Copies of this chain bind each other. A is one copy, B any other.
Amino acid sequence: MSYVSEENLCIMADLIRRVVIVGGTHGNELTGIYLVKKFQKFPHLLHRKSLECFTLLANPEAIAANRRYIDRDLNRCFANEDLVNPALTSYEDKRAKQIAAQLGPKSQPKADVIIDLHSTTANMGLTILPSSKHPLNLRLAAYLSTLSPLVRVCYGVQFNQDAPVLRSLSPLGCTLEVGAIAQGVLNADYLQQTELLVHAILDYLDALNQGKFLPVPSSLSVYQIISSVDYPRDSSGELQAAVHPQLQSKDYKPLSDGEPMFLKFTGESIPYQGEDIVYPVFINEAAYYEKKIAMILTCQQQLSLETVDAGDD
């Protein structure tokens, strides 16, 4: 465990100059797309004394088609081995290589901070998926959590180098997952809340560059991904059940052994079975049916921000 003081952060922060705000990694998640378009139309909104802010619409063809992707999920195309594999020539593979050339490589990122704006059909509120467990990410997430009770922090399984997601091009930054919002729908309320978070991130970084520390709580609740659960299916892969009505929209709520998880089309409940209380997230996300994910189980952890481990990525 390495103790990270505000002074250490300040030294690291000297490197934070270039911030990239990404929308449209998925072409039917309109929140990020319209927010980036707004920033492109009114660039003064992103002006901060110590920062250079850039915007990127990551998947233009998918945005035009109002689809998540054209050939394959762009946000699974950023694994290192895929980025250097010339045999991968789908639209999204080519696009990932272009973006990695612009913002990466992961070993020496040109972007200091990447904020990738997503939405989800699950009731995820304002979820922050940090790009790494870097203490700056965590303190930033803790700062954002003071702004809205809807802000929650979710740790992925893979970070940085190992992860195939766009945000992995830089160790600093995060994905924002905002919802519940249907695909192809613009929700004004979430659009405003997402914009507030982006401004808060820029303000935090700008203050840090100037040696100022915006207040953060002394500890942070994070949800660490454990595993995913698929829908019950028959031998041909057809769904046999839906998420149980008692679990629908209950993202981040505790789920205990014996509580209902799925409802079979024939009427029987299928309970969660497990000794540990879990906190399901991404419950019934539309885009995850094809990934065979009905929900993702997490455990809740309380992190002390005084003793964040910076080397546990």
Chain A residues within 8 Å of B, Cβ to Cβ:
34, 37-38, 42, 66-67, 121, 180-189, 191-192, 238-239, 242-245, 248, 263, 265-266, 284, 286-287, 289-290
Report the bound CA distance from A248 to B186 in whole Å.
10
Given pairs A66-B290, A186-B242, 16 additional interface contacts (CB within 8 A):
A37-B238, A38-B265, A182-B182, A182-B185, A183-B184, A183-B286, A184-B286, A185-B284, A187-B248, A187-B284, A188-B243, A188-B244, A188-B245, A188-B248, A188-B263, A189-B245
Are A186 and B290 neighbours in the complex by a CB distance under 8 Å? no
Which B residues are in CB contact (< 8 Å) with A286?
Answer: 182-185
Say whether, besides A34-B265, A38-B265, A290-B66, A284 and B186 are in contact (CB < 8 Å): yes
Is chain A's interface secondary structure helix, strand, loop, or mixed overall? loop
Report the bound CA distance from A188 to B263 in whole Å.
7
Which B residues are in CB contact (< 8 Å) with A183?
Answer: 182-184, 286
18 contacts between A and B (CB under 8 A): A34-B239, A34-B242, A38-B265, A66-B290, A121-B182, A121-B184, A180-B182, A183-B183, A184-B287, A184-B289, A185-B286, A186-B242, A186-B243, A186-B284, A187-B248, A188-B243, A188-B245, A192-B245
* Least distance between A166 CB and chain B CB atoms (Å): 22
| Count of this chain's copies in the oligomeric assembly | 2
Q: Which of A180, A184, A287 has the most CB of B within 10 A?
A: A184
In the complex, the chain B residue whose C-beta lies closest to that of A245 is B189
Q: Which of A182, A192, A266, A286 has the most CB of B within 10 A?
A: A182
Are A121 and B185 neighbours in the complex by a CB distance under 8 Å? yes
In the complex, the chain B residue whose C-beta lies closest to that of A242 is B188
* Least distance between A244 CB and chain B CB atoms (Å): 6
Which B residues are in CB contact (< 8 Å) with A239?
Answer: 34, 186
Which B residues are in CB contact (< 8 Å) with A180?
Answer: 182
Which B residues are in CB contact (< 8 Å) with A185?
Answer: 121, 182, 284, 286
